[in-house]
Structure 1
Amino acid sequence: MVSASATDVSVLSAALATPYDSRGNVDESKIEAVVDSYISRGVEGMYCCGSSGEGLLLSADERVRVVAAAARASDDRVPVIAHVGALSTREAIDIAVRSEAEGAVAVSMVPPIYYSYGPDAIAAHYRAVMDAVSLPMILYNIPQFTGTEFDPASAADLLADERVIGVKQTAHNMFHLERMRHAHPDKAFIGGFDEVFVAAIAAGASGAIGTTIGFQIELFRAAREFVGRGDLVAAQRVQARINEVVAELVDIDVFPAAKHVSGMPFGGLGDCRAPFRPLTAEGRARADRVADLVAAHVEATENERGDGRR
């Protein structure tokens, strides 16, 4: 098995929603169908069992099954990253070791949550997991959920470890992103909030892992292309389209609504697990209209990309 490098994960990766069957169990065949479809449409990486994938609502066994199914479907075409964050170091190690055996090329973790841990305990938690596997680590910075923020000072010790290849920056602080990248130019800084994708690229992000990337990959690829051309106005226009979708999903109920939209081409992925509430009939109808909005935005954006190539 080949581990990922910072360059390998500097791509547009879908934060996979975890499909369930009619009994609420992980549906591995549907995971494979989603991954294959995403790759065929241009998604460049898969991130399993993060926030969008309800990772902390799954058992360790279920999380490993998700990774295994994604890796089978990918068949080395794109990198598969396993989020292995857990309440205890022991459980995180268990998930990481088994995810490596099932085909993940990198692991990622939120810092330990619930108890208030000091920086030494957090660093030791990450190093214990890295010691247990041969895979590289991506720090998952999502302070609004964990209460811990990786910034240029607090992340410096871990970023100095060669086994840490980057940071998933699911935070709006672009100043911190730029300062971390300035101090560690060999690492991958990966945007985690779809609504600031263009801003993150401008601040130095080299890729993205996002909730809506799977079902509007064409917009993210176009925005990246426009930034590369130096056409900031076009990039901003595409970002506004991405944000119109994000804003509507947030207003409905972001994770259940995004999962509904993600699942529409596949006959549904099931509801998010409790304590998430199922979407109401009104919420489902609104989410259906989001899919129509995405289709309209993709068509308009593809036309613009075509005009720019002529």
Structure 2
Amino acid sequence: MTFGSIVALVTPMNAAGDIDEPQFARLVEFHLEAGTEGFVIAGTTGESATLARDEHIGVIERACQLVDGRAPVIAGTGSNSTAQTLDLSRAVDSLPVAGYLLVTPYYNKPGQEGMYRHFCTVADAVSRPVILYNVPARTGVDLTSATVARLARHGNIGGIKEATGELGRVTQLRQDCGRDFVLLSGDDLTACEFMLRGGDGVISVTANVAPAQMRGLCDAARSGERIEAERIDGELGSLHRALFVESNPIPVKWAVEQLGFPAPGIRLPLTRLAREHRETLRAAMSEAGI
């Protein structure tokens, strides 16, 4: 399992909405040079909801080729159907991925037992570890700490991306799940404190725009250097917020374009960042030294 600064990578697209492979390759190199420690491919930020099955598999495969073993690649293969999650996870199981990021089933809103069986079913069927992903603001369901503790006893479930922003969960999960269970923040705004309290890293939207700063933040926080971690986090605070001025990944895709990656496409029902929000994001990037 991987720790530290993991980017929830955008999927660059041209104006027609087609995946832009040259810009994708440039982005991967940009992150490796900046010290990014891992990649989540085809997650929420990567627009998994609007990728066709062959595109979804293809972008994960291409990421593995481009990274070429220089950092872990985590495949976003979750859905609200256990059968579809199994199908997609098995389809990439022969690739050199480090694991599978599986979001809690959304919209159909299963109970705790249903989620437990969902994750165990997939974990039983794949060869690399499953990382749970709890983001109730998007899914409508909350994977409780008690259920996570049950799942942590499965030999092929290795960690969780916890995106509630509730910092008390770090202590509870560490106590219930043990030191070897990987705790990753899924909320940039609280990730610094999450790691200072014992978390292992962050799967970050902000890292798309500020990879070197997020690496520095993770290094400091994971080493217990509170003053330095909070200093870096303070510089990034406005950016953390501005990247959610509209639904993710609308703002971050616009921000990445401003970095010199001409990939303006985003797929409906998402649309390009509204003009009235662009100056807010531009100012936040400037404040962060970008």
Q: Counterpart of 2:273 in structure 1: which amino acid? A: L
Q: Matched residue of 1:101: which SS? A: coil
- Among 175, 187, 192, the residue aligned to 1:193: 187
Q: With a CA cutoff of 8 Å and minimum separation of 6, indicate the structure with the bigger relative contact order.
A: 2
For residues 115 and 214 of structure 2, the distance between their equivalents in structure 1, rounded to whole angstroms, comes to 33
Cα shift at 1:223: 2.4
The corresponding residue for 1:295 is: 289
Check the 8 A contact 1:67/1:103 in 2, yes or no. Answer: no
Q: Counterpart of 1:71 in structure 2: which amino acid? A: C
Check the 8 A contact 1:85/1:108 in 2, yes or no. Answer: yes
- Among 155, 158, 163, the residue aligned to 1:165: 158
Check the 8 A contact 2:80/2:108 in 1, yes or no. Answer: no
Check the 8 A contact 1:43/1:214 in 2, yes or no. Answer: no
For residues 56 and 247 of structure 1, the distance between their equivalents in structure 2, rounded to whole angstroms, comes to 23
- Among 39, 45, 51, the residue aligned to 2:32: 39
Count residues in correspondence.
Answer: 289
Structure 1: give runs of 5+ residues left out of the alignment: 1-5, 297-310
For residues 148 and 35 of structure 2, the distance between their equivalents in structure 1, rounded to whole angstroms, comes to 32
For residues 228 and 204 of structure 1, the distance between their equivalents in structure 2, rounded to whole angstroms, comes to 7
For residues 122 and 254 of structure 1, the distance between their equivalents in structure 2, rounded to whole angstroms, comes to 24
The corresponding residue for 1:98 is: 91
Check the 8 A contact 2:9/2:46 in 1, yes or no. Answer: yes
The corresponding residue for 1:156 is: 149
For residues 143 and 252 of structure 1, the distance between their equivalents in structure 2, rounded to whole angstroms, comes to 17
For residues 80 and 225 of structure 2, the distance between their equivalents in structure 1, rounded to whole angstroms, comes to 44
What TM-score, normalized to structure 2?
0.91
For residues 229 and 62 of structure 1, the distance between their equivalents in structure 2, rounded to whole angstroms, comes to 39
Q: Classify 1:175/1:25 alpha carbon distance in 2 versus 1 (closer, same or farther; 3 Å).
A: same
Range with bigger deviation, 141-150 or 123-132: 123-132
The corresponding residue for 1:59 is: 52
Structure 2: give runs of 5+ residues left out of the alignment: none
For residues 266 and 164 of structure 1, the distance between their equivalents in structure 2, rounded to whole angstroms, comes to 38
For residues 198 and 142 of structure 2, the distance between their equivalents in structure 1, rounded to whole angstroms, comes to 19
Q: Matched residue of 2:221: which SS? A: helix
- Among 206, 209, 216, the residue aligned to 1:212: 206
The corresponding residue for 1:84 is: 77
Q: Counterpart of 2:41 in structure 1: which amino acid? A: C
The corresponding residue for 2:19 is: 26
For residues 275 and 149 of structure 2, the distance between their equivalents in structure 1, rounded to whole angstroms, comes to 47
Cα shift at 1:252: 5.4
Q: Classify 1:229/1:139 alpha carbon distance in 2 versus 1 (closer, same or farther; 3 Å).
A: closer
Check the 8 A contact 2:15/2:263 in 1, yes or no. Answer: no
**Map 1:134-145 → 2, pairs under 5 A:** 134-145=127-138
Range with bigger deviation, 285-294 or 90-99: 285-294
The corresponding residue for 1:232 is: 226
Deviations 1:252-307 (A, max 9, x none): 555211111123344322332211122234444544444433335xxxxxxxxxxx
Check the 8 A contact 1:223/1:235 in 2, yes or no. Answer: yes
For residues 40 and 200 of structure 2, the distance between their equivalents in structure 1, rounded to whole angstroms, comes to 16
**Map 1:267-286 → 2, pairs under 5 A:** 267-286=261-280
Cα shift at 1:225: 3.7
